[in-house]
Structure 1
Amino acid sequence: MDSELRERVEAEAEKHALLNAVKYDSDADVGAVMGPLMGENPDFRPHGDEIPGVVGGVVSRVNGMDRDERIARLEELAPEEMDEILAEDEGDDALLPDLPNAEEYDQIRMRLAPNPNGPWHLGNARMPAVIGTYKEMYDGWMLCRFDDTDPETKRPDLDAYDGILDAIDYLGFEPDEVIRASDRVETYYDHARELIDMGGAYTCSCPQGEFSDLKNSGEACPHRDKDPETTREEFAAMIDGEYESGEMVLRVRTDIEHKNPALRDWVAFRMIDTPHPREEAADYRCWPMLDFQSGIDDHLTGITHIIRGIDLQDSAKRQQFVYDYFGWEYPEVIHWGHVQIDAYDVKMSTSTIKQLIADGDLDGWDDPRAPTLASLQRRGIRGPAIVEAMTALGTSTSNVDLSMSAVYAANRERVDPEADRYFLVRDGREVPVIGGPEAGHPPYHPEHEERGRREVPVPGAVQIEAEDLPPNGKRVWLKGYGCVRHTRDAFEYVGDDIAAVREEGVPVIHWVPADDTVPVRMRTPEGDVTGEAEPDFADTEVDDVIQFERVGFARVDAHGDDESVVYWTHE
């Protein structure tokens, strides 16, 4: 990379690092900077191997600034973007746009429609976060409808029904009603029969490839003009399970010459030989397609507003044909882009995560390396922090990037006031201490003196992290203890005048006793880390979120005879 290109990369990286840091009021994140940097500057891409190193250095410099310095620099580099951030800050109470035509409805009614084929990954949280927030904004009504009418390709997981409801509760919401589509198959049959009698549907036994060729050329299949009586008889045979998978379908009669081939005579019901895993639905073989089932349910449950992915625009158009036959009014629809999330090596896909667990590459759905809600919950991240970060993305039709730094910043606000402080030393180096008190007494929380102070004994020596050992003759401040000078491979106590730190810039470091520490295994997204914690850490309770000073927040997971286990939350 030549010097001119390097200067351009550094300039662009500084702008995006400042935008990331100021917007989320937290340290900038390299991953969050790389996405927009490379997207806006395609000529950087041939140098993709070198650029992360340059960006890392810029991010470090930005993270060394305080908030006022970051704002001042961003106003200098990108005043328009700074104005946008300030405008967003002023509108924090209304992060989501108004729902279209909301004033025309007596009650806003929205639905979550999860497929219960496994526990939720982080991307699944966006829908309940936004719909739950809209429910609160409008004092509305929220349905959780399990779309579980595909027992074969998206086979339901029996544990996922309750698991998803638990996830919604974790995010801070409660549905007003919960239904399972697999309990409502007879309702879908009734509406299919009505549609047949209207001339709006017909049974078709064309092989899939043959029908596809006809459809794409705008030609009707030979079954399209079948009379309703024959169609009704054949549909009854479908319900009775007299056809094999792929042998017969029921199609909605639309416009065979429609400009969009995807809307031409689409399938409403098909045969599936694989029994449903729910005992109550195991006998059904004729199952509705999602567009039919969902369209019927949205009307019957009075849904006023639907939010769905931009890739599902054709669903609304298909369902409109059914609504026109029945004379129903279609709900308001908001289409949004996909959410992409940084910071994970594991693909955000239920099937991928399942396979990694089956192969032993992940310990389970709550493995800290997994991009799942179970993982974040075990790490001590509060559900409302995820909601705050998700709603900040809005409902744009463009794909959006969620930086985990936004989740961490929102969570930090929630856990910092309650998180007691402790010391944890990783790969400790033992250093004798000459003179000084027998123990240090750092506060449990620097802003809550009423909680008291810990007692960290100094039995003639301490352990510190190797990188914190100063050169011979230099001083460091052992937090909660005092100032020591590195002299002849030992620390010589030289006093407790805090001016050494405030006026002379003596570094402050954390430490633990040489003996009687608590062995800790900290599980992180990058792998397990081991260390030694101060004795008082043994008094913490499981599920406590604490802060290991200079290391980060962590949730206490277990205390055992050999070690304690914590899950890293974030810095």
Structure 2
Amino acid sequence: MDDELRERIEREAEKHALLNAVKHDSDADVGAIMGPLMGENPDFRQHGGEIPGLIGPVVAEVNRLSADEKRERLEELAPEELAEMEAEEEADDALLPDLPNAEEYDEVRMRAAPNPNGPWHLGHARMPAVIGTYKEMYDGSFLVRFDDTDPETKRPDLTAYDAILDDIDYLGFEPDDVIRASDRVETYYDYARELIEMGGAYTCSCSGEEFSNLKNDGKPCPHRDKDAETTREEFEGMVAGEYSSGEMVLRVKTDIEHKNPALRDWVAFRMIDTPHPREEAADYRAWPMLDFQSGVDDHLTGVTHIIRGIDLQDSAKRQQFVYDYFGWDYPEIVHWGHVQVDAYDVKMSTSSIKELIDAGEVEGWDDPRVPTIKSLRRRGIRGQAIVDAMVGLGTSTSNVDLSMSTVYANNRDLVDDETDRYFLVRDGEEFAVEGGPDSAHPPLHPSFEERGTRGIPVGDSVRLESGDVPAEGERVWLKGFGAVRREGDSLVATGDDLDVVREGDVAVIHWVPTDGVSVRMRTMDGDVTGVAEPDFGDVPEDELVQFERVGFVRVDDRGDDETVVYFAHK
């Protein structure tokens, strides 16, 4: 390598080290800049073996600079790249639009209102991700309110309350307040009584079909004009449980000729015979409908901004009638479209996933085949990777698609530097090894030599993946060991140096000694068995590692006969 090329490599390395350090507000490292460096300068590739040693001192020198000095130096070397990066940063910061009229409120307060009828699927993560981000943007507050006032059709799962709070914590947010609507039924009764006194509600014993026909014809219910005293007495009968399911409801008096039939005299309370699963709420039989309960709670808890699906536009319009009766100001509303997630064969629905679990088709809410937050967490996906992907969708009213590749890319950025490397052979064939060293010592991480190496004994034989097995007489490079040539059932060390790899003549493959660690890898496509190198046996449970040429996995369980890992992504 001549001096001119060496200087050019060092100059380009300094630029990429500065870009890496400024972008991530941290020290640069050799491994992180090798890809961009080679990509921009393909003529460097023939010197790939020499470049890490050449640019190491350059990177070290960059890391000795302060943050301000790095930015100043980058502006000297690559002002256009710096400007482009800053523009991208501004765009990233503005992924979420400003909340409407936020400046008019002393504090922005938002709420997530989950129905605790089961653990969350991936689509549920969008709400806390966006609300939590808005909380940080506006230094506001974040309420979690469990809307659990339907003990029959959306029956609460007693384990889901804590499970949902765990999911929110995993995503990186802590709610300022947590309430359960089922604890507040008496409050809803009190506001219903006030509404009755105002003449804004009436009890109705029409069948559902009778009222539907009247409503669709724009005709009033025969009970609509009953006096407040009668309505109050019948409502107290509802509260006392004197009516059965379907026998009596309380309706909000709106406009029976409203152009939207869904807004005409809607139901605020109904009777439910099925007891609530929470012991504290099991005696109630008159339960508020979600539009009444949620509307009252949003006012009482000081919610300033509501994010809800575009399909719930009528909810705001129904609740506005109640707000008008009480003289309340309605919160600001942001409507968004539905989020679709690719890569899963299982429908993203709590009820659909529960059916599969009950039928024994999947093993539980954290089965790698189901699109739940629990599943991604067990696979080793960081909550921040999901949050970044969800925030990136913005708040468009159009339906949006979330590609799991985005989540995986985000996670890779978060975990790549900290995950040690190991070999796993998933299937394969065994070969005796003749010649060469007794063991190999590849690095735990190629970008962090200070972490050291792991020792892989060759033993009597090694295992190669079937797709890597060389043809008779062909050479391959056993990573960390050296070049070997296949001769029958043996792999014979050739003594070739690394030039055979640099010249593209020999493929680099991974391998393991035959008596390594038995592994069962749980994936979205089913279980895969294999053998890992011996040092992998020392990795503790819950640790994330990368099986080279396979992907990132989380160590789940250390059994006596095999180790179970969950596959995260490539």
Per the TM superposition, whether the score is higher than 0.5 is yes
Would the aligned equivalents of 1:444 and 1:453 in 2 still touch at CA under 8 Å? yes
Q: Which residue of 2 aligns with 1:559?
A: 558
Q: AA paired with 2:253?
A: R
1:149 aligns with 149
Name the residue aligned to 1:259. Answer: 259
Report the alpha carbon displacement of residue 505 of structure 1 after superposing the two structures with TM. Answer: 4.2
Cα distance in 1 for partners of 2:85, 2:230 equals: 63
Following superposition, the deviation at residue 425 of structure 1 comes to 0.4
> What's the counterpart of residue 451 of structure 1?
451
CA distance in 2, matches of 1:290, 1:429: 61
Q: 1:407 to 1:275 in 2, by over 3 A?
A: same
Q: 1:199 to 1:527 in 2, by over 3 A?
A: same
Shift of 1:92: 1.2
What root-mean-square deviation, in Å, do the aligned CA atoms of Structure 1 and Structure 2 show? 1.6
Amino acid in the other structure paired with 2:416: D
Residue of structure 1 in register with 2:475 after alignment: 475
Looking at structure 2, the residues matched to 87 and 351 of structure 1 have their Cα atoms a distance apart, in angstroms, of 43
Secondary structure of 1:495's aligned partner: coil
**Structure 2 match to 1:270:** 270
Alignment of 1:29-428 (within 5 A): 90-428=90-428
Q: Secondary structure at the residue paired with 1:398?
A: coil
Aligned residue for 1:546, secondary structure, equals: strand
Distance of 2:158 and 2:209 partners within structure 1: 34
AA aligned to 1:545 is: L
How far residue 93 of structure 1 moved from its aligned partner, in angstroms, is 2.1
* Inter-partner Cα distance in structure 2 for 1:86 and 1:391: 19
- Aligned residue for 1:25? none
Count of residue pairs the alignment pairs up: 491
Distance 2:528 2:393 in 1: 33
Q: Which moved more, 1:504-513 or 1:233-242?
A: 504-513
| C-alpha contact 1:481 1:496 (8 A) present in aligned 2 | no
Residues of 2 paired with 1:211 and 1:67: CA distance? 69
Which residue matches 1:568?
567
Counterpart of 1:531?
530
Between stretches 490-499 and 540-549, larger displacement belongs to 490-499
Matches of 2:40 and 2:298 in 1, distance apart?
49
- Aligned in 2, Cα 1:566/1:322: closer, same or farther, shift over 3 Å? same
Deviations 1:519-541 (A, max 9, x none): 00000010000000000010000
Deviation at 1:413?
Answer: 0.8
CA distance in 2, matches of 1:307, 1:502: 55
| CA 371–495 in structure 1, closer or farther in 2 if over 3 Å, else same | same
Q: Secondary structure at the match of 1:250?
A: strand
**Range with bigger deviation, 151-160 or 487-496:** 487-496
Task: Report if aligned partners of 1:434, 1:460 keep a CA contact under 8 Å in 2.
Answer: no
Alignment of 1:2-41 (within 5 A): none
Unaligned ranges ≥5, structure 2: 1-37, 42-83
Query: Deviation per CA, 1:445-494, whole angstroms, max 9, x where unpaired?
Result: 00111111011111242110011012222221111111112233422212
> In structure 2, how many angstroms separate the alpha carbons of the residues matched to 1:67 and 1:358?
50
State whether structure 2 residue 531 is matched by structure 1 residue 543. no
Q: 1:443·1:454 contact (CA, 8 Å) conserved in 2?
A: yes
Instruction: State the Cα deviation string for residues 211-252 of structure 1 (Å, max 9, x = none).
Output: 000000100011111111111111111101111111110000
3-state SS of paired residue (2:333): strand
Once the two structures are superposed, residues 341-371 of structure 1 have per-residue CA deviations (whole angstroms, 9 ceiling, x without a partner) of: 0111111111111111111111111111111
Instruction: Describe the superposition over 1:131-154 as per-residue Cα deviations: whole angstroms up to 9, x where unpaired.
Output: 011111111100000000000000
Give the CA deviation at 1:90. 4.8
Q: 1:415 deviation in Å?
A: 1.2
Q: In structure 2, do the counterparts of structure 1 residues 68 and 115 end up closer, same or farther at CA, with 3 Å as the change threshold?
A: farther
Q: Secondary structure at the match of 2:417?
A: coil
Any stretches of 5+ residues in structure 1 without a counterpart?
Answer: 1-65, 70-83
Cα deviation, residue 85, structure 1: 12
Q: Output the amino acid matched with 2:372.
A: T
Matched residue SS, 2:418: coil
Question: In the aligned structure 2, how far is the partner of 1:68 from the partner of 1:215?
Answer: 68
- The 10-residue stretch of structure 1 (91-100 or 521-530) with the greater mean CA deviation from structure 2: 91-100
Shift of 1:559: 1.1
The superposition leaves residues 6-38 of structure 1 with CA deviations (integer Å, 9 ceiling, x where unpaired) of xxxxxxxxxxxxxxxxxxxxxxxxxxxxxxxxx
Q: Distance in 2 between matches of 1:196 and 1:68?
A: 73
Say whether the 8 Å CA contact 1:440–1:481 is kept in structure 2: yes
- Partner amino acid for 2:182? S
Percent identity of equivalent pairs: 75
The whole-number CA distance in structure 1 between the counterparts of 2:457 and 2:94 is 51
Measure the CA separation in 1 of the matches of 2:40 and 2:312: 44
Q: CA deviation at 1:88?
A: 6.0
- SS of the equivalent of 1:416 reads helix
Cα distance change, pair 307–68 in 1 and its aligned pair in 2 (3 A): farther
Change in CA separation of 1:89 and 1:434 when aligned onto 2, cut-off 3 Å:
same
Q: Distance in 2 between matches of 1:423 and 1:342?
A: 29
* Alignment CA distance shift 1:279-1:530 (3 Å): same
Q: How far apart, in 2, do the equivalents of 1:141 and 1:496 lie? A: 64
Using the TM superposition, give the Cα deviation of residue 89 of structure 1 relative to its aligned residue in structure 2, in angstroms. 6.0
Return the TM-score normalized by structure 1.
0.84
Q: Secondary structure at the match of 2:494?
A: strand
CA 1:284–1:549 in structure 2 vs 1: closer, same or farther (change >3 Å)? same
